A and B are shown apart, each in its own frame.
Chain A
Amino acid sequence: MKILVNDLHKAFESRVRLGIMSALAVNEKLDFSALKEYLDVTDGNLATHLKALEKDDFISMEKSFVGRKPNTKYFMTQAGKTAFDEHLKVLEKLVISHKQS
């Protein structure tokens, strides 16, 4: 049991970060404003969490211009996908083992 709990990735302890990863897991790319709307957080808060995930190499971004406005799109990296899948698996296992005990 103990080992399992430790397997939960620290990066996903934050609800905002877990939300970002869930949204990016099923969407190819999402821009900042879309993420902000889905998560219902402030600009600063979202930016901090995005930076943290970027530092972990779980997400990456690409900058472009829509007209003259800069637009940043975020997407999940392969490492992010692997880590998120692992996290999900551990969560499921934890729930199942709790049910059995």
Chain B
Amino acid sequence: MNNEQDYIRDISDIRSMMERTTRFLSLSGWAGIMAGIYALAGAFTAYKFLGFNPDSVAYDTFVVKGYIFKVVLLALLVLVLSVGTAIYFSKRRAAKRNEKLWNPTSRRLLVNMSMPLIAGGFFMIILLSKGLTGMVMPVALLFYGLALFIAGKYTYQDIRTLGIIQILLGLLSSYFIQYSLIIWSLGFGLAHIIYGIFIHAKYEK
């Protein structure tokens, strides 16, 4: 403990311990890239094969119920695939970093993100039940954006910016309902892919 190298190492150890114990840093960029691809595929399928492309806020609940059910199933499939892939890649990355996936930092990240996500999820179900189909995608973008903004405190800070982008796209699509499917694809698809590549390049080299 007598030369400069020791002191520098001490300081960097302190810094890395502080970061490791407050932020979950095993999130993989691949999770974002794959989630983006699933979202684009899902949006394309919904548009092309299910004729889903809302252009007004409210629909007659009884008329649309049948096909909306299929779109919801498709959306759930995209969600499950995205979460599954995120868990797979993060687990691999955690193993590489000699960490467990399920640790105090990942728990804290999930607990804090879950609040806006659960609230948003229930809100979307209520909107669907009232026939307000056109508002579902903007609400998804908004609440997901809020969750990401909060997540920025518990994982890479860069996620905050992605959150802000999703929130802005959510507001935009709630005004321009006729473009909401395209805007949703930009947010959940393209933005995820670009961000995934960015995170991968920045932290996984």
Contact = CB atoms under 8 A, between A and B. Distances in A.
Interface of A: 5, 8, 13, 15, 18-19, 22-23, 25-27, 30, 34, 37-38, 40, 88, 91-92, 94-95, 98-99
B1 A38 contact: no
Majority SS at the chain B contact face: helix
A25 B4 CA distance: 24
A95 B104 contact: no
A13 B3 CA distance: 14
Chain A interface main SS type: helix
A34 B104 contact: yes
Interface residues of B, number: 21
Interface in B58-100: 98-100
B17 A92 contact: no
A8 B28 CA distance: 39
Interface of B: 1-4, 7-8, 10-11, 13-15, 17-18, 20-22, 98-100, 103-104
Contacts of A23: 17-18, 21
Given A8-B1, A30-B104, A19 B17 contact: yes
28 contacts: A18-B10, A18-B13, A18-B14, A19-B13, A19-B17, A22-B18, A23-B17, A23-B18, A25-B18, A26-B21, A27-B22, A30-B104, A34-B103, A34-B104, A37-B99, A37-B100, A37-B103, A37-B104, A38-B17, A88-B11, A88-B14, A91-B7, A91-B11, A94-B7, A95-B4, A95-B7, A98-B3, A98-B4
